[in-house]
Amino acid sequence: MNGSYVPLFANPLMRVELDLDLEKLSEFAFQLQDKEKEGVQETNIGGWQSGDIIEEKHEEFIKLKKEISKNLQIYHSQVFKGMVFEDDIIQNLNNMWVNINKKHHYNEWHIHPLATLSGTFYIKHDGSTENGNITFKNPNGLYMGVSHWPKRLVKNYDEITAGKISITPKSNGLLIFPSWLEHRAETNLKNNTRISLAFNTIPILEKKS
């Protein structure tokens, strides 16, 4: 007789490949940097980060926002389908910003407080580990695997037992994940500049037409 399984405290990551004009989005990112040269200092070590750009009217950026919003609702309907809400809820983009990381730049471990979902869209990433992975920490502890599974018996830990999981992004790739999942953008070891756009959401009541 087979038992049933409940994915307690799961933290799903959604990966989507989009088809946007990356040249236009790269130009947009550098235009923002030219206007706001000092940028914002948050978790970025050596890199440049913009302020909130959610109201920007750049044509390709508006297309990107629509794609992100569409996939946020898909994530919401699939991952949170077991939740019971007071009314019809959607995920609403709350803020967005650009990250430009040259060689040796990275972002430290962090979460995104006061948000429900977060994510990153990669405008420029060469698809290699050396250009910088995004790494997620197991909420049960960074040493979860080695603390509970004897290392001498395990060749490879999986997404349940590993202390951390690294994802190698690529240009035009979108990631969506829970805002409470601690993560970091690894050091860019190449001369290829890494450009990404990050965002947060908050749940709101869906407006009735």
Residues 139, 145, 146, 149: what is their CA dihedral angle, to the nearest 10 degrees?
A: 140
Which amino acid is located at 157 in the chain?
Answer: Y
At 48-88, the pLDDT tens digits run 999 999 999 999 999 999 999 999 999 999 999 999 998 89
Residue 143 has pLDDT above 90, yes or no: no
The pTM of this model reads 0.95
User: Please, what are the domains in the chain?
Assistant: 14-131+170-205 (2.60.120.620), 134-167 (no CATH)
- In this predicted model, which residue has the larger pLDDT, 192 or 143? 192
Q: Which of 29-38, 73-82, 116-125, 135-144 has the lowest mean pLDDT?
A: 135-144
Q: Is the pLDDT at 37 greater than 90, yes or no?
A: yes
Q: Rounded mean pLDDT of the chain?
A: 95
How much is the pLDDT for 118? 98
Per-residue pLDDT band at 145 (split at 50, 70, 90): confident
Q: What is the band of 1 on the pLDDT scale with cuts at 50, 70, 90? A: low
Which residue in 98, 64, 54, 71 sits closest to 12, CA to CA? 71
For residue 78, what are the CA distances in angstroms to 116, 128, 160?
15, 30, 20
Over range 31-59, report the average pLDDT.
96
Please state, in angstroms and rounded to a whole number, the distance separating the CA atoms of residues 167 and 15.
10
Report helix, strand and coil shares of the chain as percent, to nearest 5.
20, 30, 50
